[in-house]
Amino acid sequence: MAHEYHSLWERLGINIPRLEQMRLGGGESFRRVVLSREHRPDAMAYFDDLMRGLHTTRIRQLQDFRDEGGKVVGIFCVFVPEDLILAAGAVPVGLCSGSPFTIDSADTVLPLNTCALVKSAYGFEMEKVCPYSLVSDLIIGETTCDGKKKMYELFGQLRDIYIMEVPQKQNEQACALFLSELRELRCVLECMTGNVITAEALADATALHESKRQAMERIARTRRAANPPINGTDALLVNQLSFVDDSERFTARANALASELEQRAAAGVGAYERPGPRLLITGCPMALPNWKLPHLVEAAGAMVVAEESCVGSRYFEPRAEPAGADLDGQLEAICRRQLATPCPSFTPNSRRIEDVLRLARDFSVNGVIQYTLQFCHTFAHEAVKLDAALEQAGVPSLQLETDYSVRDTEQLRLRIEAFLETLSRR
Ligand code: SF4
Ligand code: SF4
């Protein structure tokens, strides 16, 4: 089937033999981890197809859009406002950074003590196997953690990358700085697309972005049910796919899924054969196809009911304040919304601790797992404060540090089982 896509891949300059190797491994893990689960909602069929067509159908759609004069913008982080990109008539896509496949290549260049997400992203570019990067007309990085911003310098030797400055604090000076960055990004996008970003176009794009995030939040809310109508891996998959799908289509499909989940929840239909302990996972983002931790946790008998993550609540919860009608007023609202993201690259970042405690309460969790990628100093340091806050609130927690490999699977499994055992005795 993929053969019909060879000419498209060739045109984009993709390393086809490597991409095919990766697709083979990825397809197997998708079947084993996601498709093999029982009691899945019918509306997941759309997201399964989207996943199957990640390197084929979706890339064809993006290239068709470019052939008609459209532009595609690749991004790595939720700080880059998708609505500003949409308002320029371009399409934002998240770039690949969640697979172990490209890490060996990245290890030949990057310092070994770099997190798996950064290595994976760099390795994708080195090996020319991220079709989303190759179909992008512009790639935007950001100054967040040290690992990412220094990697972008090396990435910039492979291909052009535009870097946005994200402040390290969330005060008024930071807001002024970020607002000036948004104004500059507006000019970059206008220059690239040849389209002027009008106040009307931005208002429409923000409304679309808002409805997309509301649909995701609607799905999340259904997981408060005693037996959630969707399992944790499926919920994560939907959140992951939100970064690559067309925003309008995704919103419609996410709302269709939310409606089915609401009906299932009302009828007492759950995704779990035997409901186990309710867990919240908080920490580093889990980019596609990283399902390692939720898979291990749910295979051990627990239910993942919420994620405090950029592929989770950190993406869809921050809200825009009412914007002024003019363009600058709207940019300011976007600025405040983006800076409300509780990312550990901010100091201090107390909002994240409040969010974790609130989510733990709202989703009636029995425990929290702090997920940190090895060598991620930002999340690892914040884990100390978060751990203390959870202990004070009487919420049991487990800190797990891992990477994308399968080397530590057994060790993780034992630690998760021991944690669940502790919860069962409470
Ligand atoms: S954790 Fe921070 S740097 Fe990483 S994707 Fe989220 S907002 Fe961006
Ligand atoms: S914040 Fe942590 S996980 Fe994210 S890119 Fe930086 S080092 Fe990696």
Q: How many CB atoms lie within 10 A of CB 187?
A: 10
Please report, rounded to a whole number, the percentage of residues in the chain having pLDDT higher than 90. Answer: 96
SS3 state of residue 7: helix
- Judge whether 379 and 342 are in contact, CB under 8 Å: no
Query: In one letter, which amino acid is 138?
Result: L
SS3 state of residue 368: strand
Q: How many domains does the chain have?
A: 1
C-beta 119 within 6 A of ligand 2 = no
Question: What pLDDT does residue 386 have?
Answer: 98
Residue 127 in this model has a pLDDT that exceeds 60: yes
Q: Is 410 exposed, middle or buried, given 0-12, 13-18 or 19+ CB atoms closer than 10 A?
A: exposed
Task: Identify the domain containing residue 399 by its residue range.
Answer: 2-424
Residues whose CB is less than 8 angstroms from the CB of residue 199 and which lie 6 or more positions away in sequence, other chains included: 325, 326, 327, 330
Separation between Cα atoms, residue 132 and residue 134, nearest integer Å = 5
**Ligand 1 centroid, distance to 413 Cα (angstroms):** 27
What average pLDDT does this structure show over 399-418? 97
Index of the ligand 2 atom closest to the CA of residue 145:
6
Q: How many CB atoms lie within 10 A of CB 374?
A: 16
C-beta 79 within 6 A of ligand 1 = yes
Please give the helix or strand (H or E) that residue 157 lies within, else none. Answer: helix 146-158
SS3 state of residue 312: coil
Measuring from atom 5 of ligand 1, which residue has the nearest CA?
77
Question: What pLDDT does residue 26 have?
Answer: 83
User: Mind listing the pLDDT tens digit for each residue in 361-385?
Assistant: 999 999 999 999 999 999 999 999 9
Q: Where are the alpha helices (DSSP H) in 341-424?
A: 350-362, 377-393, 409-424
C-beta 144 within 6 A of ligand 1 = yes
Question: What pLDDT does residue 203 have?
Answer: 94
Residue 7 in this model has a pLDDT that exceeds 70: yes
Residue 2 in this model has a pLDDT that exceeds 60: no
Residue 321 in this model has a pLDDT that exceeds 90: no
Preceding peptide of 92 cis, ω within 30°: no
- Judge whether 29 and 223 are in contact, CB under 8 Å: no
Summary mean pLDDT of the chain? 96
Where b means 16+ CB within 10 Å and e means fewer, 50-84 reads bbbebbbebbbbbbebbeeeebbbbbbbbbbbbbb
Question: What pLDDT does residue 322 have?
Answer: 62
Please give the helix or strand (H or E) that residue 94 lies within, else none. Answer: strand 91-94
Beta-sheet strand order (sheet of 397-402)? 303-308, 278-283, 367-373, 397-402
User: Mind listing the pLDDT tens digit for each residue in 73-83?
Assistant: 999 999 999 99
Index of the ligand 1 atom closest to the CA of residue 310:
6
User: Mind listing the pLDDT tens digit for each residue in 176-223?
Assistant: 999 999 999 999 999 999 999 999 999 999 999 999 999 999 999 999
Question: What pLDDT does residue 426 have?
Answer: 84
